[in-house]
C-alpha cells in the first residue's frame, strides 16, 4: 500500500508540472509574462514543444532589455531557441543563434554539436558526420555525439550502419538499457532474431522486473519457432502475466498461441503437466477480459480458443 502511494506521488507531480507548463505557455504567448519561467520549465521537463518555445524565446531575444536582464542565462536561451528553430525548420533563425554562440564561445564542444545538428537539419549528412568525427577526436566518449551518429544512419535508412554504430556505442556505454532496446528493435526490423534475442536477454538480466522486456523476448522466440524456443517463449509470456498481475492481454494470447504451436509440433506427446493449468487459466482470463471490455468479440475469441483446442 505504501509503495503504491509512493509511486502515485511522482505521477501526480508530473501531471501538475505539465499543467503548469501549459498555463505558463498560454500566459507567455498572450503577453501575460512568465516567459522565462516557461522556458526554464520546458527545459527541466524536457518538453518537446518547439513551435511555442521558438515564439516565446524569440520574443525574449528580440527584446534587448529583457535579454540583458538574463545575464549569462541568455546563452542558454540562444541554445534553446536554436534547437527549437531546427525542429521547426527555421534554419535561418537556428544559424543566427548558433553564430552568436560561436562568437561568444569559440572552440566550444557544445556549440560544435549545435553546428553539426544544423547540418543534420539541412540533410547534409556527410558534413554532419565530419563535424561529429572532429568532436570524437577530442572526446571519444561523447555520448551525445555517438547517439547522433546512430540517428544519422537511421535517418538515411541505413539500418546495417545503425547496428554497427549501436554495437560500438554499447562497447563504451554497456549499461544504457535504452540502447540495448533500440538495438534489439533494429535487429527485429532486419529479421536478425537471434541477435535481437541476445539483446533482450541482456535487458532481462539487468532489469528483471520490467514486463516489457519479458514479452518482447517471448515474441522474438515465438517468431523464431522450434520446440525449445516456443517452450521458453511460453515461460516468458507467463512471467509477463505474473509481473502485470494477469492484466497483459498480449501475454495471455502468447501463452495460448505457444501452447497450440507446441501441441502441433509434439502432436500431443510429452504434454507439460504444469503448462496445462497455465493455458486453461490464460484462456479463462482472455474470455473474462473480453466479456468485460468487448462483449461483441467474445464469440470470435471463443471460436479461436476452440480451434486451438484450449476450451
Neighbours of 132 (CB within 10 A): 23
77 alpha carbon, distance to own chain's centre: 27
Q: Greatest CA separation found in the chain? A: 82
pLDDT per residue as tens, the chain (311 positions): 444 444 444 555 888 999 999 999 999 888 778 899 999 999 999 999 999 999 999 999 999 999 999 999 999 999 999 999 999 999 999 999 999 999 999 999 999 999 999 999 999 999 999 999 999 999 999 999 999 999 999 999 999 999 999 999 999 999 999 999 999 999 999 999 999 999 999 999 999 999 999 999 999 999 999 999 999 999 999 999 999 998 898 999 999 899 889 988 887 665 554 456 777 888 888 788 878 888 888 888 788 787 776 65
DSSP, collapsed to helix, strand or coil, labels residue 173 as coil
Q: Which helix (H) or strand (E) holds 45?
A: helix 35-45
Is the pTM value of this prediction over 0.85?
no
Q: What is the pLDDT of residue 12?
A: 54
- Per-residue pLDDT, 271: 55
What integer pLDDT is reported at residue 295 of this predicted model?
82
Q: What is the C-alpha separation between 301 and 295, in angstroms, rounded?
A: 10
Report the length, in residues, of the chain: 311
Amino acid at each position: 500500500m505504501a509503495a503504491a502511494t509512493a509511486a502515485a506521488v511522482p505521477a501526480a507531480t508530473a501531471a501538475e508540472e505539465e499543467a503548469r507548463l501549459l498555463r505558463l505557455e498560454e500566459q507567455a504567448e498572450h503577453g501575460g509574462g512568465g516567459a522565462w519561467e516557461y522556458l526554464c520549465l520546458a527545459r527541466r521537463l524536457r518538453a518537446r514543444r518547439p513551435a511555442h518555445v521558438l515564439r516565446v524565446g524569440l520574443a525574449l531575444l528580440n527584446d534587448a532589455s529583457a535579454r540583458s536582464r538574463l545575464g549569462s542565462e541568455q546563452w542558454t536561451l540562444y541554445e534553446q531557441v536554436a534547437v527549437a528553430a531546427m525542429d521547426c525548420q527555421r534554419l535561418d533563425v537556428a544559424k543566427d543563434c548558433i553564430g552568436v554562440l560561436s562568437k561568444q564561445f569559440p572552440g566550444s564542444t557544445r556549440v560544435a554539436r549545435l553546428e553539426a545538428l544544423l547540418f543534420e537539419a539541412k540533410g547534409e549528412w556527410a558534413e554532419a558526420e565530419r563535424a561529429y568525427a572532429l568532436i570524437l577526436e577530442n572526446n571519444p566518449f561523447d555520448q551525445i555525439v555517438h547517439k547522433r551518429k546512430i540517428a544519422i544512419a537511421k535517418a538515411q535508412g541505413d539500418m546495417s550502419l545503425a547496428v554497427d554504430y549501436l554495437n560500438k556505442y554499447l562497447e563504451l556505454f554497456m549499461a544504457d538499457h535504452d540502447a540495448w532496446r533500440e538495438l534489439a528493435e533494429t535487429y527485429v526490423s532486419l529479421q536478425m532474431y537471434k541477435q535481437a534475442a541476445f539483446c533482450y536477454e541482456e535487458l532481462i538480466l539487468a532489469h528483471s522486473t520490467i514486463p516489457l522486456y519479458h514479452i518482447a523476448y517471448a515474441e522474438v522466440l515465438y517468431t523464431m519457432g522450434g520446440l525449445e524456443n516456443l517452450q521458453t517463449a511460453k515461460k516468458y509470456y507467463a512471467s509477463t502475466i505474473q509481473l502485470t498481475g494477469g492484466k497483459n492481454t498480449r501475454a495471455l494470447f502468447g501463452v495460448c498461441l505457444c501452447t497450440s504451436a507446441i501441441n502441433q509440433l509434439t502432436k500431443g506427446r510429452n504434454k507439460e503437466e504444469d503448462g496445462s493449468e497455465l493455458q486453461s487459466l490464460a484462456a479463462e482470463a482472455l474470455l473474462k477480459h473480453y466479456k468485460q471490455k468487448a462483449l461483441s468479440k467474445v464469440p470470435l475469441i471463443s471460436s479461436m480458443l476452440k480451434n486451438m483446442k484450449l476450451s
